[in-house]
Copies of this chain bind each other. A is one copy, B any other.
Amino acid sequence: MTRKNPKQTRQRLLQTAFQEMHAHGFQGMRVDEILRQSGLQKGAFYHHFGSKTELGYAILEEQIKPLIEEVWLAPLADINNPVQDLPRFLDSLGERITPAMREHGCPLNNLAQEMARLDDGFQKRIASLFTEWVTAFQTVLEKGQQHGYIRKNVDCHQVARFLVAVLEGCIGLFKVEHSAEQWQACRTQLAVYMTSLEPNSTQ
């Protein structure tokens, strides 16, 4: 007999929904399809989530946010020399990336571009997540600056914002055209940019 396990049920719904949203976008994601894939019924769904929109918020907070923290924030905290290690980190990321991410790109940016201007609840949560990400970059850059890897006159907050934009842009273009050439261009030119932040660079 299958025992009732609310936490597991909720988690199953969340994970299935995350995959569906990642693939089809929030508007393209269908509640019925989530139920079909997870083998559950409407009763289970609307017991755990008030609406499709609230499910979206939950995906953002309980699936995407931990993912960002695991894939980006945690590794960033271990970096000493951003100029050298950031491009290198991109390489390792390109190798470790899951098929779903290769195929559908960054789930945060996808949701951001689709829903940020349509729903204020999404907007605030997304902006908050991006801020976390920018801050993580800023911290690494400032640490690198203190160690002399980066010029003193570099605005680390500005560079951090730029880096997040660049990464999302690169992932986005790679999603359109799955060519190694596209990823290589972004990886190499990002290294070029990072080098230009070094003290011995002419600025």
Please give the residue numbers on chain A whose beta carbons come within 8 Å of chain B beta carbons, in ascending order.
23-25, 27-28, 103-105, 109-110, 112-114, 116-118, 123, 126-127, 130, 155, 157-159, 161-162, 164-170, 172-173, 175-177, 181-182, 184-186, 188-190, 192-193, 195-197, 200-203
Q: Taking A113-B105, A123-B176 as contacts, is the C-beta distance between A185 and B168 under 8 angstroms? A: no
- Cα distance, A162 to B174, chains bound together (Å): 11
Contacts of A25 in B (CB 8 A): 25, 27, 114
How many copies, total?
A: 2
Q: Taking A162-B186, A192-B196, A201-B196 as contacts, is the C-beta distance between A118 and B173 under 8 angstroms? A: no
- Cα distance, A167 to B175, chains bound together (Å): 16
Contacts of A162 in B (CB 8 A): 170, 185-186, 189-190
Cβ contacts A to B, 27 pairs, < 8 Å: A24-B118, A104-B117, A110-B113, A112-B175, A112-B176, A113-B113, A113-B114, A114-B114, A116-B176, A123-B176, A126-B176, A158-B184, A158-B185, A158-B188, A161-B181, A161-B182, A162-B189, A164-B169, A165-B173, A165-B186, A169-B169, A169-B172, A172-B172, A192-B193, A192-B203, A195-B196, A196-B196
- Inter-chain contact B176/A161, CB cutoff 8 Å: no
- Inter-chain contact B104/A173, CB cutoff 8 Å: no
Q: Which of B105, B172, B184, B196 is close to A193, meaning CB atoms less than 8 Å apart?
A: B196
